[in-house]
């Protein structure tokens, strides 16, 4: 899921916290040491102080705000490799993302695709490829032929 605005990024974090961590806005506010009214206001205005964003994301368990800030500045965001072996399923998942992206690009250049969908798909493909690139370059001693974890 890719947020289309900073306000959308805050909403997605909140929704993730509700769905995955069973947090209410009241509980989120309590954990942040703020009031529910404050949480609603800063989310509506997309005006949360930068020093509170890491806490907000840690509590909700989602990093949509940080990702949106980086991407809106023209940066590509990838998860740091954990140095694990990749199996056939990992490569097949990458291939599915790449196939979907090429299909969206073909549709776009035939005026049959929405630019936001093409951008999201292309970004995801670049992130996945960059992860594998980083994993290969940062893990020279990784036993890629060994047993799967």
- What digits encode the pLDDT tens for the residues 56-110? 999 999 999 999 999 899 887 877 766 677 889 989 999 999 999 999 999 999 9
Full 3-state SS string of 76-133: CCCCCCCCCCCCHHHHHHHHHHHHHHHHHHHHHHCCCCCHHHHHHHHHHHHHHHHHHH
User: What tens digit of pLDDT does each residue of 24-47 get?
Assistant: 999 999 999 999 999 999 999 999
pTM over 0.85: no
């Amino acid at each position: 899921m890719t947020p289309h605005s900073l306000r959308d990024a805050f909403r997605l974090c909140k929704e993730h916290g509700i769905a995955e961590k069973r947090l209410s806005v009241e509980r989120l506010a309590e954990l942040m040491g703020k009031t529910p009214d404050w949480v609603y206001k800063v989310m509506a205005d997309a005006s949360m102080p930068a020093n509170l964003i890491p806490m907000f994301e840690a509590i909700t368990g989602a990093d949509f705000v940080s990702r949106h800030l980086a991407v809106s500045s023209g940066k590509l965001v990838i998860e740091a490799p954990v140095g694990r072996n990749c199996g056939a399923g990992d490569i097949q998942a990458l291939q599915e993302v790449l196939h979907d992206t090429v299909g969206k690009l073909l549709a776009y250049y035939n005026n049959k695709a929405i630019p936001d969908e093409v951008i999201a798909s292309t970004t995801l493909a670049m992130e996945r490829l960059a992860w594998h690139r980083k994993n290969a370059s940062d893990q020279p001693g990784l036993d890629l032929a060994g047993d799967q974890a």
